[in-house]
Structure 1
């Protein structure tokens, strides 16, 4: 489609965030992507978008983008970069062998990018060491499906959540991490009052808003819980014996392993009430149409595979699979984690869902990829999984590592060791679109890649649905598509014939042909999209969302798997797995007595390279935080909103305390998003040991062991500073980053810095003169209380604004943000600068509704004025009327105000 054709039109594409895979309709006008909305016809979301998806157009632009290749710190053209890359890869292979070369990929890549990367590294470079960051989120679920069902095949679809009689959420804060699915489930529950929802999670999350039953289990006890369920079903004659006899095997072994404890023992081990536990068991066993939806809270464990299999066991035992509204449903973290697995993106895979141990797979893939002049030399055994891969880099075994679209310097556990390994590696190649990621400091060769709205290809979501992610905008500068970069490198390595693609539709066609190649008889594989072979460019561009398998017998796709009870195992029977529950490997101790949980927050994504480009997404949780129970806060002498530090054997984390009854005692939660680009010491990966599940290789990211202490501070300050006119991503950090604590918060037209330090400042104006090029124009100081407000105006423009004092003393910053975007500060506004707002203006408080930027104080005032329902609040303030992500928080605020009102009334009655 030409750029002219795209002008003044709407184009359908796919969201690049979570595994829901929402359809997005982008409005293009004169070559600019001016707005986005949910695609009303896309079966994943039917027009819904979360706040991140609805802000996609706000994340675009060329600032902070890589636009030029770099080699050894020098900007070069593509020919020099690719030639140098090919020469160094070839020299490494010649000197140290094929297995000295490795790649680490990402669920942010499109399927076509993934396909050619896997083909190059495993097929023609001959190294098995290609893995992906999907190892961090989905590997345990994949291993469990394969052990039990015979294939990496999610049996359910999203409609099953709406058709179920019981939906069980395990280790999944669906409301924050997959908001559109949560909204679909919420609507379904409203339409079907008989539907029940059970939430199983150590934390009381926003997903509990629709829960009929909440089980706040002890971290790591999931396998105990589901083993107990299996035993209870057997004891109470709730098994589907006919299904067991016809379609499964090894049930007796699994039941024996699950029958060591009665329900009271299970309740004690899970730290939950026995009656509530038995209620869950009864509900599960009594309903046929049950969906258990599970995510990272189950997967990210040293026994994650067993936990997933314990869930699958219960579904098989009751025949609750292959039916509408029934099945074990693992929900994917990234937009194309499944697409990457389809093409062999994991180190233990070949391609097209073929494994090294699959009979004839090596010969089959070799034959398929062979050309007239080239025959691939595939490795004979699986390669290193993610953690093992970086261990091998540190040992010096891996000499060349190509990292694409991910930031292991932040996201991997024991990140200090990962950084040490990267420093030692002779050749680090990074394909990236952002110019300020932590990883770039370790790269010898940097390759500027395209991002969302520029990339063109396909992705596969959590329900096996393939969708087009269409290219809408031209790439900035010299940025190029990942598939192009890989193929151009391959050509320079001498593999021209095997990588002579001109468009991603050709790659997709080859991928589809491989999925159907010799896919019959004893070598029959479930993943098969041969029905999409021969689309051509026009058909590929017009491809509508479709669920695999897509074959001659299922040309319109397959909504649900295993409906006939025939599984992808050697004998067609699902296999029960005997599960022996194991405690987390990271044990608590006197030195590290608190259990650490990590995870996502509502408005952010991964390491914020995209979401932080939309300032309104930073307002809900604007700095790193530590969430803990009130009793723990009291024990450690820490108040709400005070700065604190967590320490672990491998690192430290600094953040602002949020006291919450949603936390269990003895446990803390921190977000996974902050990197060195946004804070001084807030990388969650630095707090975790690199311990993995022995089957899946997935790290234990939910069960750290940490100590807590207040962060000693003599002062805190908030600095707002105007955006520089030029890109400063390659410049040194500003001087205030030497403070003991800092967090950077992008705003519209300025940057906000939260600062703190233990060393007193005796002359703030003198310090500001060293920090900033512009002298203070206005200031007001209360030296007795250690308070200062100051601002600099240069040629009528506001250059910076400072408040010394804790953030709770800040005015609402929207007024100040607007001043940074003014060409000239008026006399009226100048007089109010130090106050930070108009006279008498109310502070709206921290943002709750990111879509409409509605603050907590405004919401509370509306509730007190009589708007005591989310509908009334929406009518008055518009909060909760767009994506719906804030609705649970709105309900919590309503309930809090009701509780305050009841307490106040009780006190009046007592006095009377």
Structure 2
């Protein structure tokens, strides 16, 4: 029997796994077992239900070979890799002739390994000269990226998981950590339970399992986060709890910030947020009386038209009180996807270049052109198309080829009817993934079978900047190939052979880390060999470093990545929701994840235990609101926004704030009828991060008649068992 140490491929916690089994010629994985890796520094042997059952989905509903069709109304036909790649290369060349390189777009994924991300950047941003590579991190973490950059001068969470056991006050806002990052929460909860002086504050319109464990739950109204955060700052200043020496020596913008928060006295903040003055004051008191404060956030902050401003507002509190760069303290974004951090390091968003560089910075472009041996001026100085810009480009006939890999925008994008209509307009779409069918495959002309984590070797970086090696432990299923290898082969066939001479992913990674040298995310001392021998390694880890002398936390010296080394206070007022409620749409809909499912169910929907755990979507509604619309526990509700409609069985609960309803976001058209949460959401964007406000929109509710409910459940029964047909 073999024991392989690897990493869970779901969320950004980055839990270490041990997979135990025996490889064989027919790739039978039925005897393989998964357990937590006790030696992994991040998870310490713990594992959630998703990681524990991951092996069950590896060989289910796999895409076995390349498939092609001329039109979307035709069935797919099997083809060879050579024929599929020749077709893709011919289409790329045609689009470059007719529309230029900016007629090409790729949309990637935090499911990529860093080697996949890096090779795609080199192909698109380097060789092809277009920055039109974006990833589903745009829907997930881009506001955290821009918030860190605005405040600190560079991306990168400054904290580590050891802080979970060293903090005196945990401030969780916009995160249901217990369900979405369960192993992080388990570590924090153990510390909280065993130390009576440790306080936990949870800010969330829902009383989630995370909020149930808190000393104080602030059920604020959606869109009032900045008012709350500025209100806490108001009280801290009023009580003289700021660290004046730190502010004077290590920050800019304090005077303007102090003037700003005068507009947020307790009575006004309590009214905006829908909380009591007493709870606001208790929150400020917990913060001010704690020697170390650790804040954590995720999608509830990032997925907003003020996502960047909200991140800055959190960071402001840390700057105000010098709660950064020391054990148990700091602003800690919890990454959504397993390698969203690695994607940020490799330049995997439309405005980034590898090594925490920017496409708009002339020196950064010149660095990469020299390193990649490209002509001067080859890398475009314009940010490429972000996720929603791809939809607009398709609508305006500005995109001739769209390449989607390892993600499912036909479920995850906002305003789904508009998204699907745009995808239907694409002249040529390549869809590259491990599974089939997936909702997005309905919009593709070419399907490329990709390996997944168990069949490919590469690296991933988790939320606390630990890089782990994920080795292949069985043969690729069918004709699947590694994502990086597909990108490299297309590059070679396009005539860039000297740029893609990689024999394996270790060589890809060795090239990537060279260009992180002397950058904030310096990994120049890390290699596949080091990770194999020494295990997970945290960056920064320059080539000259020793593992034992590297700081676990960024900014311990209070020197930030700005021109003058000072952090910057963000100056932002609370603007509320982008789409306010009114008489026609009187409820706020918020969406989120469930403990067992992952994103759009591409894996978890194929695992029986998780299907039984979460058999169908639902809508949470407060008893007061349910009574007002005459809904009972047996009712189904039709939910309408200005963009679409969905239907859900009712869950009446006091865990949701009045005036707010909640639905999970995991169900697409393959898994349930009329239950797509994003058919309701809108695409309004944060102006800096370009992240959509997926967390909230205005809706109206209608109770379905018995006849409508019967028809709905009949359709659900018809869908059951038809997934692979």
Say whether the fold is shared (TM-score over 0.5): yes
Measured after TM superposition, the shift of residue 261 of structure 1 is 2.7
- The correspondence for 1:64, drawn from 52, 61, 65, is 61
State how many pairs are aligned. 712
Matched, 1:705 2:705: no
1:288·1:319 contact (CA, 8 Å) conserved in 2? no
Deviations 1:661-702 (A, max 9, x none): 101111110001001111111111110111111111011111
SS in 1 for 2:118: helix
Q: Pick closer, same or farther for the CA change 1:710–1:751 going to 2, 3 Å.
A: same
Gaps of 5+ in 2: 70-75
Deviations 1:518-569 (A, max 9, x none): x3xxxxx31111112xx4x644544511111001454325410000000011
Matches within 5 A, 1:567-582: 567-582=560-575
Deviations 1:247-300 (A, max 9, x none): 111111112112113111111111101111101111112223000111111111
SS in 1 for 2:121: helix
2:204·2:211 contact (CA, 8 Å) conserved in 1? no
2:50 — aligned with what? Answer: 52
- The correspondence for 2:539, drawn from 540, 548, 553, is 548
SS in 2 for 1:619: helix
Deviations 1:392-420 (A, max 9, x none): 12111111110010111110001111111
1:781 — aligned with what? Answer: none
1:254 — aligned with what? Answer: 257
SS in 2 for 1:202: coil
- The correspondence for 1:602, drawn from 589, 595, 605, is 595
1:369·1:375 contact (CA, 8 Å) conserved in 2? no
Larger radius of gyration: 1
2:23·2:474 contact (CA, 8 Å) conserved in 1? no
2:434 — aligned with what? Answer: 433
Matched, 1:687 2:680: yes
- The correspondence for 1:324, drawn from 317, 324, 327, is 327
2:366·2:376 contact (CA, 8 Å) conserved in 1? no
The separation in 1 between residues aligned to 2:194 and 2:622, in whole angstroms, is: 36
Gaps of 5+ in 1: 1-7, 520-524, 718-735, 754-771, 773-912
The separation in 2 between residues aligned to 1:641 and 1:493, in whole angstroms, is: 59
Deviations 1:188-208 (A, max 9, x none): 112322111011111100012
2:404 — aligned with what? Answer: 403
- TM-score, normalised by the number of residues in structure 1: 0.76
1:38·1:47 contact (CA, 8 Å) conserved in 2? yes
The separation in 1 between residues aligned to 2:349 and 2:37, in whole angstroms, is: 31
2:2·2:22 contact (CA, 8 Å) conserved in 1? yes
Moved more, 17-26 or 280-289: 280-289
2:232·2:280 contact (CA, 8 Å) conserved in 1? no
The separation in 1 between residues aligned to 2:170 and 2:561, in whole angstroms, is: 25
Matched, 1:530 2:533: no
1:629·1:663 contact (CA, 8 Å) conserved in 2? yes
Matched, 1:177 2:180: yes
1:223 — aligned with what? Answer: 226
1:40 — aligned with what? Answer: 38
1:814 — aligned with what? Answer: none
The separation in 2 between residues aligned to 1:60 and 1:98, in whole angstroms, is: 36
The separation in 1 between residues aligned to 2:699 and 2:330, in whole angstroms, is: 36
Q: Pick closer, same or farther for the CA change 1:24–1:329 going to 2, 3 Å.
A: same
Deviations 1:432-462 (A, max 9, x none): 1110111111111110111231121011111
Matches within 5 A, 1:803-842: none
1:666 — aligned with what? Answer: 659
2:105·2:132 contact (CA, 8 Å) conserved in 1? yes
SS in 2 for 1:175: helix
The separation in 1 between residues aligned to 2:149 and 2:276, in whole angstroms, is: 34
Measured after TM superposition, the shift of residue 500 of structure 1 is 1.4
Measured after TM superposition, the shift of residue 312 of structure 1 is 0.3
The separation in 1 between residues aligned to 2:176 and 2:480, in whole angstroms, is: 36
2:453 — aligned with what? Answer: 452
The separation in 1 between residues aligned to 2:691 and 2:402, in whole angstroms, is: 20
SS in 2 for 1:502: coil
Q: Pick closer, same or farther for the CA change 1:15–1:282 going to 2, 3 Å.
A: same
SS in 1 for 2:706: coil
SS in 1 for 2:17: strand
1:624·1:654 contact (CA, 8 Å) conserved in 2? no
Matched, 1:637 2:630: yes
The separation in 2 between residues aligned to 1:225 and 1:554, in whole angstroms, is: 42
The separation in 2 between residues aligned to 1:488 and 1:712, in whole angstroms, is: 56
1:212 — aligned with what? Answer: 215
The separation in 1 between residues aligned to 2:545 and 2:414, in whole angstroms, is: 42
Matches within 5 A, 1:603-622: 603-622=596-615
- The correspondence for 1:588, drawn from 581, 588, 591, is 581
The separation in 2 between residues aligned to 1:410 and 1:752, in whole angstroms, is: 16
